[in-house]
Amino acid sequence: MAAVVLFIVLQVVVRRSRGKPPTVRLKSEAEIANIAASRDSYPCLLVERSGQDLRANISTCLPALHNDSAIEQYEVDLRSGRFTLRQTDLLVADSMPLALTRGYRLWDDKSRAFGIGGNHPYDIFPYGDRFPYTYMELLLGDGVTVHYDRISEGTSYIDNVEEHRGTNDTVFQNSKIAWNHDHWDMTFRDGTLYRFPEAYHAKRGVDGALVCMRSPRGEEIHFVRDAVHNLKSIASPGAHRIQFSYDESNRIVEAWDDAGDRVGYSYDPRGRLMEVRKNGKLLWRYSYDETGMTSVETGAKESVLVNRFLRGRIGTVIIGKGRMFRFDYLFGPNKRVLETRVIDPEGKKTVFKF
């Protein structure tokens, strides 16, 4: 559980360089081939909105950016019993769309843009080790991480090139993160570029968060951040915007686009997202216990999802009007899950071994 938040207190792995560009030499093909591939896929219960219906399936989940379309998803990672929520509040159409999709992730106790455990895809950031610089993790808007290994010779940041080599063909496959004078450039296979700032003395994740997105065609999504690096606005290539305002705890309290849609956010005394209102109308309401989010309800008081926890992880999920999935776990040393048994609403049992 602590692994996801362990590195948040670390300073983001960047340091300003001076002078002429360094000579970067990649490791040999044999050395790179010996780097173990990251296992990107994992078994999950995935609940998705399709029209007016919620569809639930045992599926294979993969990391994704979730920044170009509207989604409503609820996920249980069967390797651990971790719950993740994804909901899109604003979508602006353009050649590079803007999609404000909130993520909530169980066991993330850090306060982010949407309170405890809550973030979005425009505040993603890299972190990792240093001295020597050997790996990075990219923390996505829903809290999922993508692993990168160093493929360049040396141990410094200045000649560092990291690559994601996964077991699945995701958008991240063979993407690279490399130091470029005074910032990090992340380049995808299709030529898309994401830029992250120098943030050697970072105290929060947003200190090293995304500052530019550029398509292979040269179009850009422009970012404006304030003095403490909170995201104030994003602008699409067609000059459409989503803007943000914050409270004194650096949480988003309002987001609005240039079409006139406004979304308001309120938080409970413990800093967890409690209500979402769109154009003044209650859209979502959330409840929590000591472990995490226990329910998702629409503004019309329709129950979408109820979570019940077992030993700090998902034990039961009740979807809509009563479809129930149950989860039993077999634990090994250090509370590691060795086996998960899923019982679906029809009583069918499926066992996953890890």
User: How far is the C-alpha of 94 from the C-alpha of 87, rounded, in Å?
Assistant: 20
Q: Which residues pair with 137 in a beta bridge?
A: 127, 147
**Along the 354 residues of the chain, how does pLDDT read in single tens digits?**
433 333 333 344 444 445 577 889 999 999 999 999 999 999 999 999 998 899 999 999 999 999 999 999 999 999 999 999 999 999 999 999 999 999 999 999 999 999 999 999 999 999 999 999 999 999 999 999 999 999 999 999 999 999 999 999 999 999 999 999 999 999 999 999 999 999 889 999 999 999 999 999 999 999 999 999 999 999 999 999 999 999 999 999 999 999 999 999 999 999 999 999 999 999 999 999 999 999 999 999 999 999 999 999 999 999 999 999 999 999 999 999 999 999 999 999 999 999
Q: Which amino acid is at 153?
A: E
How many residues are listed for the chain in this entry? Answer: 354
Listed as own residue / partner, the contacts of 210-216 with beta carbons closer than 8 Å and 24 or more positions apart are 210/122, 210/123, 210/124, 210/125, 211/183, 213/96, 215/95, 215/96, 215/191, 216/190, 216/191, 216/192
Specify the 3-state DSSP secondary structure of 165: coil
Burial 259-273 (b: 16+ CB within 10 A, else e): eeeebbbebeeebbb
* Domain spans in the chain, listed from the N-terminal domain onward: 22-353
Phi-psi region of 122 (alpha: psi -120 to 50; beta: other; left: phi over 0): alpha
Residue pointed to by tokens 């998960």: 340
Please give the Cα distance from 148 to 165 (Å, whole number): 7
Alpha-carbon torsion (235, 92, 170, 75), positive or negative: positive
For residue 12, give both structure tokens: 């983001």
CB atoms within 10 A of CB 122: 23
Tell me which residue has tokens 């909901």. Answer: 87
